[in-house]
Amino acid sequence: MSKKSFKQLLRESFKSNDTEEWLDVHFTRPVGLVFALAWNRLGIHPNVITIVSIFLGLAAGWFFHYADLGHNVAAILLLMLANFCDSTDGQMARLSNKKTLLGRALDGFSGDVWFVAIYAAIAYRLMDQILPGLDIKWGWFSWVLCIVAGLMCHSPQSSLADYYRQIHLYFLKGKEGSELDNSIDEQAKHDALPKSDWFGRLFYGNYAKYCRSQEKRTPQFQRFFKLWSSGTGSVETRSRVREQLLAKSRPLMPYTNILTFNTRAIVLYLSALVDQVWIYPLFEIVVMTVLYLYMHKTHEMACGQLSKQLVNQ
């Protein structure tokens, strides 16, 4: 890994130009690669870095429940560091081929832990604050706000954004360049494992449910992908449809980036610094939901149109 230039390693650590966000390309990934190279020389495994990121995210959540500037600045720095570590472990795994089942499980788990801690911190912080424009405290309504924002908005938004990104990578780079998995295969992996392999069964069982939730929300894509996987259409038609799918999907990639980490983090940081943390969950519920619905509707419409092209060639 050290024989290549920094620019070469950085380029190889990207999934694709279409799916990488500007802030990640010019800030998060380069910093993460510096960390990755340093830790790789020390022989530190990517899984260790992921575990470190989990504790950093938990610490950030704890600090966010304080209203003073000092604690909030510390929380921001901790969450930024957690994100650098999260970027680092993925880059190390891709560049050094140190990919493990535990690593996959931890990588998906880490971000969830961060935001559970953050939503809980915001809810607790708001309880004794006054509702904007009223003379009453937030009380337990702050927990309702954060549960709706986290479970009903953030979680499905992130999972579908990741799914659309993997779909794009699949048609751009092929199966080897993406992680477009399906619930049937993942459930089969679960069922094939002996009961003594409790960790593997736990991972594949939960991952199958995760894939199933993505599939249920994308009926038009499921129909299209079934036709595509069965070889429907002539060579010329399939080539044209593939290019059209990428052309229709490419403008949606910025939305998948917005619905993952960076935009959320920026809004969280600003709302915490001005001690108006209710802005963040409200932004999640209103603005991010509108983007999510637009992304979902646009992608499903495109898949419906492409299915017709495959059938009516």
How does pLDDT run across 206-233, given as a tens digit for each residue? 999 999 999 999 999 999 999 999 999 8
Tokens of 290: 């509108």
Q: CA 226 to CA 232: how far, in whole Å? A: 9
> Which pair of structure tokens corresponds to residue 235?
């060579």
Give every CB contact of residue 305 below 8 A, 6+ residues apart in sequence: none
pLDDT tens track, the chain, 313 positions: 557 777 777 776 676 677 777 777 777 778 777 877 777 777 777 778 888 889 999 999 999 999 999 999 999 999 999 988 877 766 666 666 666 666 666 677 888 999 999 999 999 999 999 998 888 999 999 999 999 999 999 999 999 999 999 999 999 999 888 889 999 999 999 999 999 999 889 888 999 999 999 999 999 999 999 999 999 989 999 999 999 999 999 999 999 999 989 999 999 999 999 999 999 999 999 999 999 999 999 999 999 999 999 998 6
Q: Give CA–CA dist 223/105, Å, rounded.
A: 29
CA distance between the termini of the chain: 47
Whats the size of the chain, residue-wise?
Answer: 313
Q: Under a CB-based contact definition with an 8 Å cutoff, are residues 167 and 181 in contact?
A: no
Q: Taking the C-alpha atoms of 156, 161, 162 and 164 in order, what is their torsion angle to the nearest 10 degrees?
A: 120
Q: Name which of 282, 277, 288, 269 is nearest 60 in CA terms.
A: 269
